[in-house]
Amino acid sequence: MSAGKPPAHGGQQLAQALHAQGVRCVYTLCGGHISPILVALRSLDIEVIDVRDEASAVYAADAAARLSGLPGVALVTAGPGVSNTLTALKNAQLAQSPLLLIGGAAPTALQGRGALQDIDQAPLVAPHVKGLRQIRVVAELAPAVAWAFRRAQQGVPGPVFLECPVDLLYDESTIRGWYAGAEARGSSLTARLQRWYLRRHASRLFAPRAGAELPLAAAPLPRAAERALRAAAKALRASRKPLLLIGSQALCNAAGAAAVAAAVDRLGLPVYLSGMARGLLGRAHPRQLLHQRRQALRESDCVLLAGLPCDFRLDYGKHVRHGATLIAVNRSSREARLNRRPDLAAIGDVGDFLIRLAAAHCGDHTAPEWLATLRQRDREREQAIAAEAAVSGSHVNPVALLRAIDQCASDKAIFVADGGDFVATAAYTLRPRQPLGWLDPGVFGTLGVGGGFAIAAASQRRDAQIWLIWGDGACAFSIAEMDTLARHGLPVIAVVGNDACWSQIAREQVKLLGDPVGTVLARSDYHQVAAGFGAVGLLIRKPEEVADGLAQAIRIAAGGRPVLVNVWLDRSEFREGSISM
């Protein structure tokens, strides 16, 4: 089937609608309820990457959306296929990632009658998406896709769900044959009424729609009011100790990342980056700060929160000192005012606001002594980290390992973070190279995103070097996706920080409660598991093995194969007292 050929059945209609929206790759776990869609997608040369867990398909769609700025697409079968996606959907919702989940469903005439995998999916999914449609006739398929793409992107982005019953996806003659086979035999009134109902139902399924609905345009960019822009510029010009904090929302328009980075550079403000904004300014921008953010916030007289709410990460707003001018830029009015009411709220796209603000700000007004103070604190913290990395033990120091990865990763590296203590340490030591060079789950703190995120990063950015930084606890959630990476030729470098412990939890649990119950793991052979799935597995147990092991992993990935490096870590006190509530 070509993109211009009239579709023969609903699966082809839906595939053509996705193609019209620019979709070139989808993530799925196959099932009988969605087979016609998958076959039609491949006939349109849309890449179909099949994973080993439905959650991974949604995580992949989430990461694809973050990297491209366009909704990622996941397809799953009915019933447990849909229910298995809920954590991943909630993660995307809280991370404000636009994606489309297409779920199969039982035949329309058999729903509620005990059909295979038939459950009431809408109330299960509804709390975790920003839009939902249960499609009931074939003519609604293509318009529903256009609606979903617009809905996912408008305002605060998020996931959208389309439920597509299987009897909408095959050709009309096949479905009429199915229903004919289900008809009652005989001449009784009940039998005749059932035959009449099923034939009438089939006719309604395939009834043409009046008029042709074209794909909807992309959602318009929400822009903050001009008066808010002018007020923010005035406040920053009057400030002696301004501070800019940038969150993931600044990169909702992924294609505009370079323009946002240029605007931040022009603003000349000391800046902290978080979430997907990490890497926005490259590895070593002179005004980018990495450490002691809390102290800086308590001293700043004007704080601009660009796409970052006052949630637990800012101690519910208490990190910003009383009396400071607080400017909140956010697509969400609720998040802009969460826990602490700002002096100025600018509701609109964050990246667009920063670009406009740079034009209105009229130059660099940062007091050099303020920036010098902040940079000196950064240098002192870096010296302390270097001292931590120098501590030797029987196995590998986690800080030293991450610093080694940072040294050998390429200029096109993308870091995927999935874990607790090991990944939090990585946030202090790894330096994303460019915008969209860092992927973590987001505010939900979800473990298990690693496999799906890495699949998406490797499929979306074929020229990049993909590093999956995996805690040993987190990797068990999606290590089966090493099979997906191997089958699809996606050469990810996965590094498992194996300290045989859920360290993020154990550190405070043992201190406060005196018992490590539930936090102890084993020095499991994750490298052998990866090898069993068709990837290459490497083991590093000693500090002197790190350099050669990482170099070997890079060579293997450059040759087109995924590799997992299982690194035995020493316990570390690097993040003592860092628990969040």
Residue pLDDT, tens place only, 480-524: 999 999 999 999 999 999 999 999 899 889 989 999 999 999 999
| Residue environment code for 538-550, b if the CB has 16+ CB neighbours within 10 A, otherwise e | bbbbebebbeebb
- Mean pLDDT along residues 546-552: 98
What integer pLDDT is reported at residue 199 of this predicted model? 79
3-state secondary structure labels for all residues of 449-461: CHHHHHHHHHHHC
What integer pLDDT is reported at residue 207 of this predicted model? 86
Which of 454, 569, 526 is CA-nearest to residue 59? 454
Yes or no: say if 279 and 438 are a contact pair by the CB < 8 Å rule.
yes
Q: Which residues contact 318 (CB under 8 A, 6 or more apart)?
A: 340
Q: Which residues contact 315 (CB under 8 A, 6 or more apart)?
A: 294
What integer pLDDT is reported at residue 467 of this predicted model? 98
Residue 261 has pLDDT above 70, yes or no: yes
CA-to-CA distance for 386 and 384, rounded, in angstroms? 5
What integer pLDDT is reported at residue 88 of this predicted model? 98
Mean pLDDT of the chain: 92
* 3-class SS of residue 108: helix
Yes or no: say if 330 and 233 are a contact pair by the CB < 8 Å rule.
no
What integer pLDDT is reported at residue 240 of this predicted model? 94
Model confidence at 177, pLDDT cuts 50, 70, 90, reads confident
CA-to-CA distance for 50 and 38, rounded, in angstroms? 10
75's enclosing H/E stretch is strand 72-76
Residue 84 has pLDDT above 60, yes or no: yes
Residue 56 has pLDDT above 60, yes or no: yes
Q: Which residues contact 114 (CB under 8 A, 6 or more apart)?
A: none
Q: By percentage, how much of the chain surpasses pLDDT 90?
A: 81
- Mean pLDDT along residues 464-472: 97
Chain centroid offset of residue 450 CA: 10
What integer pLDDT is reported at residue 4 of this predicted model? 54
495's enclosing H/E stretch is strand 493-498
What integer pLDDT is reported at residue 521 of this predicted model? 95
Q: Which of 2-6, 239-243, 277-281, 379-383 has the lowest mean pLDDT?
A: 2-6
Domains of the chain: 10-205 (3.40.50.970), 226-373 (3.40.50.1220), 390-568 (3.40.50.970)
More confident residue, 572 or 102: 102
- The token pair at 56 is 């991974």
Segment 123-170, tens digit of pLDDT:
999 999 999 999 999 999 999 999 999 999 999 999 999 999 999 998
* 3-class SS of residue 325: strand
CA-to-CA distance for 328 and 26, rounded, in angstroms? 35
Radius of gyration of the chain (CA): 26
Yes or no: say if 346 and 328 are a contact pair by the CB < 8 Å rule.
yes
Alpha-carbon torsion, ordered 305, 310, 315, 317, to 10 deg: 80
What integer pLDDT is reported at residue 216 of this predicted model? 58
- Mean pLDDT along residues 280-293: 94
Yes or no: say if 208 and 142 are a contact pair by the CB < 8 Å rule.
no
CA-to-CA distance for 154 and 98, rounded, in angstroms? 9
CA-to-CA distance for 503 and 226, rounded, in angstroms? 48
Q: Which of 53-62, 99-108, 348-357, 446-455 has the lowest mean pLDDT?
A: 99-108
* 3-class SS of residue 380: helix
Model confidence at 112, pLDDT cuts 50, 70, 90, reads confident
CA-to-CA distance for 573 and 55, rounded, in angstroms? 33
| Residue environment code for 64-93, b if the CB has 16+ CB neighbours within 10 A, otherwise e | bbbbbbbbbbbbbbbbebbbbbbbbbbbbb
What integer pLDDT is reported at residue 206 of this predicted model? 85
- DSSP bridge pairs for 344: 327
* 569: DSSP letter: B
Residue 183 has pLDDT above 70, yes or no: no
What integer pLDDT is reported at residue 6 of this predicted model? 61
Strand order in the sheet with 242-246: 288-289, 271-273, 242-246, 302-306, 325-330, 344-347
Q: By percentage, how much of the chain surpasses pLDDT 70?
A: 92
Alpha-carbon torsion, ordered 81, 86, 91, 94, to 10 deg: 130
Pairing state between β 493-498 and 288-289: unpaired
* 3-class SS of residue 328: strand
Segment 95-109, tens digit of pLDDT:
999 999 999 998 887
More confident residue, 504 or 28: 28
Where are the strands (E) in 343-492, listed by range?
344-347, 413-418, 438-439, 465-471
- Mean pLDDT along residues 575-579: 59
